Amino acid sequence: MDKSKRLSLIIFGGVIVLFIISWIIKISLLQEAGMDSLLSIRDAFFITFAAFLTLAIFSFLYKDNPYYKFAEHLFVGISAAYWMCVGFWSTFVGNFIPKVSTTLSDFFEVPPKEFEIHYFVPLILGMMLLMRLSPKGGWLSRWSLAFIVGTTAGLNLIRYLRTDFITQVSNTFIPLLVDWKGIGPFFSDFSLSASGQFVMTLGNWVIFIGVFSGLIYFFFSKEHKGFFGHASRVGIWILMITFGASFGYTVMGRVSLLVGRLTFLFNDWLGLIS
Amino acid sequence: MTNIGLILSIAAIIGGLLWLTIRSLSGREVERRIIFLFIGIAVSVPLLFDITFSEKATPIVKGVYDKVDNLPSGSVILISFDYGPSMAPEVEPMSNAFIRHSLAKDHKVIIMGLWATGQSLGASAVENVIKKEFPNKIDGVDYINIGYKAGNQGVLNVIITDFRKMYATDVNGVDLDSVQIFQGIRSLKDMDLMISVGGGFPGIKEWVLFAADPGNIPLAGASAAVSTPLLYPYYPMQLIGLLGGIKGAAEYESEMKKNYPQFADMPTPGIEMMGPQTLAHMVVMAFIVIGNLSFFFAKRRKE
């Protein structure tokens, strides 16, 4: 046995020993808290196993290793199986069975509904999609795929055109002087509140200049010189600020997930915080 | 003891950052694992020593809060759980806050999900929030979990005209025609407010595209931070408000605590997470400054 293999076996042994010690300690802590002995054994196992999987995923930060791979594959496998099972029970049993068969509805204990023959269309299309697994009938799945792509494209075209284009253009037509009653009232009622006239007006100007200069930056039919060049530079700045804000939000999101896992480790597993 | 630990931890972070600055300015590389370690410490310290900050709701969060607060009692609010466990630490505080706020105002709550994982997370919210904190609320009368249906935006395209074409029963197999909460509800157009909680596909964007805009129904969003910047253009015309990431959750929770004495002791994971967030962001900003300084110093050395 070479040196690296021996080291891997020692680490594996160490992980098993630590897992068992953690499990036993957790059982005793749960029993001290008044939990039933069988329940405490089960719950302690799940908590310890979840902690092991969390640490296994974190171990990738050091370097790629078999524990990380195990946790990753387990996650992918369980996710796929979960989606399939929920899909079966909620859509196939929940929607299809009640509309096509009273006997099957009784078997699955779902209330039967009025028979509707057109519910067989998605069933047939679904079965055709699964033909992809067959070497000879694979071509049949293209019909289902064509249906999915066609309907999705058709639906999205109308909705995106309305929501992301027409309504967004309309939303950009905003007053550059919000609730304007003259220069006197503007200064006499001056406030830095987020819902105040000054901040609202400033916000609308930022949107106007941002959209205008951003559009100029992406307009390539005229050379970016003079006023056009200056507006284009402002457009770049607006884009950079947007990317910066996105990066900031991404950091916040990732830190939140890290906090979630650390809270689990410190609270549920180690009991360091309440 | 707690204060000593806190002071020692912050001293360790500041000392470590100084060491990193000196090391990088002298032209030596800093291994990425050291960066990870710093972020780990910066996140752990506020958790272990319970560092929190006060929050104030911004107009975009206040828009959602005020809408829920000002609806007359008995209004129907639909909350869609469009997320999975991987996003839960960030968005679950928001969905729990919405449920608490809605039930405290005696609104009817319909829980559903465009994600399969949303179904069980909705059920978990029913068990952990509704049944524990609102034991007098009745399933099928004050709230209902109708669960998940496959079809992404296709589901919305159907339920905007008729719920029952897609949902025959709730998650427990109870016929929707037999539950009180669904009497008089035919489609999404009968909702007084819809709230999508999520951050991926399908999510808030699909709710705007396939439900709020075509049906002219009020919609609020509660999104994971990663997708929040993409949703800002919909506010305020197509979204009445948006809770962006854990900061949005913290603002909503602080507003609830401020206005409802019964929520003074409620769990506030959003507010608690802002401590680690703040320290982690400060460390990231310090890294950006150190990285830029060492870049310019290295450039000058070469010249």
3-class DSSP state of B62? helix
A186 class by beta-carbon count within 10 Å (0-12 exposed, 13-18 middle, 19+ buried): middle
Q: Count other C-beta atoms under 10 Å from residue A18's C-beta.
A: 13
First to last CA, chain B: 51
Q: Count other C-beta atoms under 10 Å from residue B165's C-beta.
A: 13
Cα torsion angle, B166, B170, B174, B178, sign: negative
Select from B271, B272, B240 the least CA-distant residue to B253: B271
Mean pLDDT of B216-241: 95
Q: Would you state the pLDDT for residue B2?
A: 59
Residue of A55 and B168 predicted with greater confidence: A55
pLDDT in tens, A24-69: 999 999 999 988 889 999 999 999 999 999 999 999 999 999 999 9
Q: Which residue of A has its CA nearest to B152?
A: A152
Structure tokens at B253: 């929770």
Taking the C-alpha atoms of residue A116 and residue A16, their distance in angstroms, rounded to an integer, is 56
Residue B110, φ and ψ in degrees, nearest 5: -110, 120
Percent of chain B, pLDDT > 90? Answer: 81
User: Where does the pLDDT of residue B30 fall: very low under 50, low under 70, confident under 90, or very high at 90 and above?
Assistant: confident
Distance of alpha carbon B219 from the chain centroid:
15
Query: Omega into B267 within 30° of 0, i.e. cis?
Result: no
Taking the C-alpha atoms of residue B245 and residue B235, their distance in angstroms, rounded to an integer, is 16
Mean pLDDT of B50-75: 94
Taking the C-alpha atoms of residue A198 and residue A206, their distance in angstroms, rounded to an integer, is 12
Bridge partners, B193 (sequence order): B77
Q: Is the pLDDT of residue B254 over 90?
A: yes
User: Where does the pLDDT of residue A182 fall: very low under 50, low under 70, confident under 90, or very high at 90 and above?
Assistant: confident
Q: Is the pLDDT of residue A254 over 60?
A: yes
Q: Is the pLDDT of residue A10 over 70?
A: yes
* Contact predicate B187/B213, CB 8 Å: no
* Contact predicate B213/A163, CB 8 Å: yes
Mean pLDDT of B199-213: 95
Would an 8 Å CB–CB cutoff place A39 in contact with chain B?
no
Residue A76, φ and ψ in degrees, nearest 5: -65, -45
3-class DSSP state of A104? helix
Percent of chain A, pLDDT > 90? Answer: 79
Q: Would you state the pLDDT for residue B233?
A: 93
Q: Which residue of B has its CA nearest to A62?
A: B33
| Residues of chain B contacting A113 with CB distance shorter than 8 Å | 168
Q: Would you state the pLDDT for residue B198?
A: 94
Would an 8 Å CB–CB cutoff place A175 in contact with chain B?
no
Q: Cβ contact (<8 Å) for A91 and B150? A: yes
DSSP collapsed to 3 states, A140-181: HHHHHHHHHHHHHHHHHHHHHHHHHHHHHHHHHCCCCCCCCC
Mean pLDDT of B6-16: 84
Q: Is the pLDDT of residue B1 over 60?
A: no
Mean pLDDT of B219-232: 95
Helix axes B88-104, B116-125, angle to 10 degrees: 50
pTM of the model: 0.91
Q: Is the pLDDT of residue B26 over 90?
A: no
Q: Cβ contact (<8 Å) for B245 and A259? A: no
A147 class by beta-carbon count within 10 Å (0-12 exposed, 13-18 middle, 19+ buried): middle
Bridge partners, B145 (sequence order): B111
Mean pLDDT of A122-144: 92
Q: How far is A32 from chain B (nearest CA, A)?
A: 23
Q: Count other C-beta atoms under 10 Å from residue A206's C-beta.
A: 12
Q: Is the pLDDT of residue A2 over 90?
A: no
Q: State the best of B2, B273, B278 to mutate against chain A, taking most chain A CBs within 10 Å.
A: B273
| Residues of chain A contacting B208 with CB distance shorter than 8 Å | 163
Q: How far is CA B100 from CA A129, B80, B109, B159, in A?
A: 43, 15, 10, 25
Q: How far is B189 from chain A (nearest CA, A)?
A: 17
Q: Is the pLDDT of residue B142 over 90?
A: yes
Of B47, B228, B245, the CB nearest to A262: B47
* Contact predicate B85/A83, CB 8 Å: no
Q: Would you state the pLDDT for residue B27?
A: 83
* Contact predicate B268/B257, CB 8 Å: yes
- The mean predicted confidence, pLDDT, of chain B is 93
Q: How far is A1 from chain B (nearest CA, A)?
A: 31
> Ranked by mean pLDDT, which of A180-189, A192-201, B11-20, B237-246 comes out on top?
B237-246
Residue of B12 and A74 predicted with greater confidence: A74
Contacts of B45 (CB under 8 A, 6+ apart): B6, B9, B10, B13, B51, B276, B279
User: Where does the pLDDT of residue A196 fall: very low under 50, low under 70, confident under 90, or very high at 90 and above?
Assistant: confident
Mean pLDDT of B33-38: 91
Q: How far is CA A46 from CA A58, A259, B198, in A?
A: 18, 20, 27
Mean pLDDT of B162-189: 93
Q: How far is CA A163 from CA A120, A154, B40, B116, in A?
A: 33, 15, 41, 26
Q: Would you state the pLDDT for residue A1?
A: 67
Would an 8 Å CB–CB cutoff place A245 in contact with chain B?
yes
Select from A202, A183, A184, A182 the least CA-distant residue to A192: A202
Structure tokens at B272: 């608690």
A133 class by beta-carbon count within 10 Å (0-12 exposed, 13-18 middle, 19+ buried): exposed
How many alpha carbons fall within 13 Å on the CB side of residue A88? 6
Q: Is the pLDDT of residue A212 over 90?
A: yes
Taking the C-alpha atoms of residue A9 and residue A20, their distance in angstroms, rounded to an integer, is 17
Would an 8 Å CB–CB cutoff place B143 in contact with chain A?
no
Of A87, A95, A259, the CB nearest to B47: A259
Of A95, A170, A259, the CB nearest to B43: A259
How many alpha carbons fall within 13 Å on the CB side of residue A132? 9
How many alpha carbons fall within 13 Å on the CB side of residue B121? 29
Structure tokens at A26: 């957790």
Q: Would you state the pLDDT for residue A187?
A: 84
Percent of chain B, pLDDT > 70? Answer: 99
How many alpha carbons fall within 13 Å on the CB side of residue A227? 1
Mean pLDDT of B146-161: 94
| Residues of chain B contacting A82 with CB distance shorter than 8 Å | 116-117
DSSP collapsed to 3 states, B125-153: HHHHHHHHHCCCCCECCCEEEEEECCCCH
